[in-house]
Amino acid sequence: MEMNEANILIVDDNPGVLSAGKLFLKRHFAEVDTTRDPEDIPGFMKENRYSLILLDMNFGRSAKNTGQEGFHWLSRILELDPSAVVVLITAYGDVELAVKAIKNGATDFVLKPWDNDKLLATLNSALKLKASQDENNQLKSKQLGRNLAEQRDMPEIIFRSQAMQQVFETVQRVAETDANVLLLGENGTGKDLIAQAIHAHSRRAQENFVKVDMGALTETLFESELFGHVKGAFTDARDDRPGRFEASDGGTIFLDEIGNLSLGQQAKLLTVLQNRTITRVGSNRVRPVNVRVIAATNQNLFEAVKNRTFRQDLLYRINTIEIQIPPLRERADDVEPLAHHFQKVFARKYNRPVSGLSASLLKEMLRYPWPGNVRELQHAVERAVIMAKGEKLQPEDFFFRQADADGNNLDLPTMNLDEVEKQLITKALQKHHGNITEAAAELGLTRASLYRRLEKYHL
């Protein structure tokens, strides 16, 4: 008979039961451990993740055979591992108690003295049920991954410049490996598209690509969002839920704005990247994850390491390969093809009769520094397509913000408070080279408040 790879723990205070159980079960299962003392259970579970635990309902020191010790240790086992498979060992008179225990989380029960064939059938049935539950959980994780996943097709990256040609050549070389990648660059330079391109060119292309905005995760949500939680882990945890790492298992996880993590969050993330395992909130079950990590930030992480605001060991873990995405002002050759691309996209989207860009507009575009990079260009073209009166976009269809050398002076063409606030935010980001933390400090805002305003104004 083929050996089952499962490992079993038998807990019973009767040495004869333990000997007989181990002698029989080790012929059918890979490993069988035994203990007479239920107090040993936490230690055993810490050292091993058992496929099944065979647990007696009554122990010798109990004055009466009430089954209360069995209930207590069943509850304790499920606290340590909510997905544990527990089969109870009970006498004929305790069947009613055993049925009650099943309602409390036990998988099944066996009567003692047991019949070996019936015992084996009960354990195999319990393990099959467990395998089915694990398969369902894995399917849930995959479905969550599909729900969270970005587009699977190769994203369209428009460029003509030599600088971006070099970036894309690096992407193609790096993509076929499983090396972790760190993308550096100002806000709006297209780091998310580069991350998708790496995934699309990799061996993981048919699996999920899951993006996480690390800057938007609060301290309380960080672990639950990334690593998942089990039912009852906290007030609103009504069901087991896989986290983003499980959702991207086999694929790629994109950790955007990683420079905004607190030191405590960095330590938790480092542990997962080192061990390649996660533990859901409220559980002690360790789950392996196979993910490729791409991280991105607009901050100087090497300077942050010097200032002790970013862990050096985490930086080394995420930047096996480092790719710097140049700002749009340093790749002027890309402005025209990008502008034409966005004009066509938004003309179709809004059903507008706009067929191109005028020569005078292109000259203005090449003179403008685009502090918001490709994202600013995209939004500018979108607005112009909507507001344009003619078939070709003209300079007057655009609003070009005037930027001075140091970014401190404001040229206000309007007294509209929203427009003024938008300009102040743009100036602060330009002055601090896209650093969210420093820009927020200068504006007297929290990072979260600045993120809300960036979303409000599409910056």
The confidence band for 328, taking pLDDT boundaries of 50, 70 and 90, is: very high
**R_g (Cα) of the chain, nearest Å:** 30
What is the topology classification, in CATH, of domain 4-134?
Rossmann fold (3.40.50)
What is the topology classification, in CATH, of domain 407-459?
Arc Repressor Mutant, subunit A (1.10.10)
Query: What is the pLDDT, as a whole number, of residue 405?
Result: 41
- pLDDT tens digit sequence for 372-424: 999 999 999 999 999 998 899 999 988 776 544 444 455 555 666 777 888 88
Mean pLDDT of the chain: 85
- pLDDT tens digit sequence for 21-50: 999 999 889 899 999 999 999 999 888 888
Q: For 423-450, what is the mean pLDDT?
A: 81
Measured CA to CA, the distance from residue 313 to residue 315 in angstroms comes to 5
Please provide the CATH number assigned to the domain covering 149-324: 3.40.50.300
Q: For 4-19, what is the mean pLDDT?
A: 89
Q: For 128-137, what is the mean pLDDT?
A: 71
The confidence band for 107, taking pLDDT boundaries of 50, 70 and 90, is: confident
Measured CA to CA, the distance from residue 233 to residue 244 in angstroms comes to 17
Query: What is the pLDDT, as a whole number, of residue 421?
Result: 82
Say if 4-134 and 329-400 have the same CATH topology: no
Pair 87, 106: CB distance under 8 Å: yes
Asked whether the predicted pLDDT for residue 149 surpasses 60, the reply is no
Asked whether the predicted pLDDT for residue 135 surpasses 70, the reply is no
Measured CA to CA, the distance from residue 221 to residue 226 in angstroms comes to 8
Query: What single-letter DSSP state applies at residue 232?
Result: T
Mention every residue, 6+ apart, whose C-beta is less than 8 A from residue 254: 150, 192, 195, 196, 199, 209, 210, 211, 212, 294, 295, 296
Residue 416: CB atoms within 10 A of its CB come to: 10
Whose tokens are 């862990």? That residue is 311
Query: What is the pLDDT, as a whole number, of residue 447?
Result: 79
Q: Which CATH class is domain 329-400?
A: mainly alpha
Q: How many residues are present in the chain?
A: 459
**Domain locations in the chain?**
4-134, 149-324, 329-400, 407-459
The confidence band for 446, taking pLDDT boundaries of 50, 70 and 90, is: confident
Query: What is the pLDDT, as a whole number, of residue 78?
Result: 85
Query: What is the pLDDT, as a whole number, of residue 182?
Result: 97
Whose tokens are 């402005």? That residue is 335
Query: What is the pLDDT, as a whole number, of residue 140?
Result: 59
Instruction: Please choose, from the candidates 85, 87, 89, the residue with its C-alpha nearest in 3D space to the C-alpha of residue 113.
Output: 89
Q: To 10 degrees, the CA torsion angle through 353, 395, 188, 327?
A: 130
Up-side HSE of residue 449: CA atoms within 13 Å toward CB? 10
Query: What is the pLDDT, as a whole number, of residue 84?
Result: 84
The residue with greater pLDDT, 442 or 275, is: 275
Burial 365-391 (b: 16+ CB within 10 A, else e): beebbbbbbbbbbbbbbbebbeebeee
Given phi > 0 = left and psi -120 to 50 = alpha, else beta, which region is 420? alpha
- pLDDT tens digit sequence for 177-235: 999 999 999 999 999 999 999 998 999 988 889 999 888 888 888 998 899 888 777 87
Strand partners, 321: 181
Tell me the helix, strand and coil percentages in the chain, rounded to 5.
Answer: 50, 15, 35
